[in-house]
Amino acid sequence: MARRGPSARRGLAACVLYSRDMATIKFWGTRGSIATPLPDRMKYGGDTSCVEIVTHEGLEIIMDAGTGMRRLGQVIMGRKSSCKGGALFLSHLHWDHIQGFPFFIPIYDPHFKFQIYGPMRVDQTLEYRLKKQMSDLFFPVVLEEVSAKLEFIEIVEEPIQLGQTTVIPRFQNHPQGSYGYRIEDAGKVIAYMTDNEHPAAEVLEDTRILAANADVLIFDAQYTPEEYEKHRGWGHSTWLTATKIARECGVKRLVLFHHDPDHNDDFIDAIVALACEQFPATIAASRDLEIQL
The nearer residue to Zn ion, 71 or 92, going by C-beta atoms, is 92
CB of 98 to Zn ion, least distance (A): 10
CB of 191 to Zn ion, least distance (A): 17
Return the exposure string of 222-247: e unless at least 16 CB atoms fall within 10 Å of the residue's CB, then b.
bbbeeebeeeeeebbbbbbbbbbbbe
CB of 48 to Zn ion, least distance (A): 7
The nearer residue to Zn ion, 56 or 94, going by C-beta atoms, is 94
The nearer residue to Zn ion, 54 or 120, going by C-beta atoms, is 120
Binding stretches for Zn ion (CB under 5 A): 32, 94, 96, 195
CB of 222 to Zn ion, least distance (A): 8
User: How far is 7 from 96, CA to CA, in rounded Å?
Assistant: 27
The nearer residue to Zn ion, 60 or 195, going by C-beta atoms, is 195
CB of 31 to Zn ion, least distance (A): 9
Closest residue by beta carbon to Zn ion: 94
The nearer residue to Zn ion, 85 or 235, going by C-beta atoms, is 235
The nearer residue to Zn ion, 154 or 185, going by C-beta atoms, is 154
CB of 95 to Zn ion, least distance (A): 8
